[in-house]
Amino acid sequence: MRWVFFLLILVQAVQAQGCRLLGPLSPLRPVEQVLVYPNFSSLVAGGEQKPGEVLPPGEQVTIETPDRQKLDGRYFAHPAPQAVVLYCHGNAGTVDQWSVLAARLSRQHRLTILVFDYRGYGRSTGIPHERGILIDATAARDWLARENQIAPEEIVLMGRSLGGAVAVDLAANQGARGLILESTFPSLPDVARQHAAWLLPEWNMTQRLNSAEKLKQYQGPLLQSHGDEDQLIPLSLGEKLFEAAPGPKQFVVVHGASHVDDHIHLCAAERELFFRRLPVPQPKNMIDGRMP
């Protein structure tokens, strides 16, 4: 009967700590998987090319991760970029839709930019989960740095919604020339509390993406925008994340905008000014302020 004793201890531990203690074995994990990584292409705002709109086609690239997943990406190389940008998209859609927004960004702001699909999205291999999509983003940024012969920390990180949390993780752990966030959150449990507090998400969610805590480690410039009609991630959550940032920062409230409104168009002026004010990147082989 010793196994009964240990089973009781396990049940009590789960009751005290919540289902997140079980990790991948949590009974709520399949629900989280559907809610956090739905991959609905129809929800991409502004992801369709407009009639008569001429956009650069972009180059289809494949990025391999350290754990041997293959990620599908679209790369837009500008002949005279004012910045090199990694765009981390939201949890809906694939690069087939998000590449339209990346192309607009490249044209609007003279950017070299890469947008990529997380594992399990589109033609990317694997199954999405928190640790995996963060590995994916690191691999994508490393690819972009090698392609442009710059240090990874000289890349500007841009993320929308779920992708904002991915960009924050990169910036906090490895630095960035600049960080641009759209319609994102302080943590996934914070979002869940807005819609299903009775599930006790702080105890039960296995997917966390605690951006508010991570953002405290990033000292660089931040531009953050959020719609005041966002019902999925309320404005108050965007403001909570913004408060955690210690460096130079600007918060743009997009009046009348919901979660799916196109910030690429709505915040173009603020974004251009942000790019122009970024610190000048240092050459990759600069040592102690002198060229070897």
Torsion sign, CA atoms 174, 82, 243, 219: positive
Helix (H) / strand (E) element for 75: namely strand 70-76
Give the separation between CA 175 and CA 143, rounded to whole angstroms: 16
**Coil, strand, or helix at residue 247?**
coil
Round to whole Å and give the CA distance between 200 and 203.
Answer: 6
* 8 A C-beta contact, residue 252 and residue 198: no
Domains along the sequence of the chain with CATH: 2-43+56-277 (3.40.50.1820)
Q: Print pLDDT tens along the chain (292 aa).
A: 332 232 222 333 334 344 554 455 455 555 566 678 887 665 565 556 666 666 777 999 999 999 999 999 999 999 999 999 999 999 989 999 999 999 999 999 999 999 999 999 999 999 999 999 999 999 999 999 999 999 999 999 999 999 999 999 999 999 999 999 999 999 999 988 887 766 666 667 778 899 999 999 999 999 999 999 999 999 999 999 999 999 999 999 999 999 988 888 899 999 999 999 998 876 655 434 433 3
pLDDT of residue 263: 86
Instruction: Count CA within 13 A, CB hemisphere, residue 150.
Output: 19
What is the pLDDT, as a whole number, of residue 260? 87
**Bridge partners (DSSP) listed for residue 115:** 74, 87
The pLDDT score that the predictor gives to residue 132 is 97
> Residues of 143-172 as b/e, b for ≥16 C-beta within 10 angstroms?
bbbeebebbbbbbbbbbbbbbbbbbbbbbb
Decide: helix, strand or coil at residue 29. Answer: helix
The one-letter amino acid at 184 = T
What is the C-alpha end-to-end distance of the chain, expressed in Å?
Answer: 72
C-alpha closest to that of 161 among 247, 257, 75:
257
- The residues, ordered by sequence, that sit 6+ positions from 177 with a Cβ below 8 Å of its Cβ are 83, 153, 154, 155, 156, 220, 278, 279, 281
> What span, in angstroms and rounded, lies between the C-alpha atoms of 268 and 93?
22
Cα gap 245→171, rounded to integer Å: 11
Nearest-angstrom CA–CA distance, 244 and 233: 17
* Predicted local distance difference test score (pLDDT) of residue 142: 98
* Separation of alpha carbons 16 and 71, rounded Å: 38
pTM of the predicted protein model: 0.85
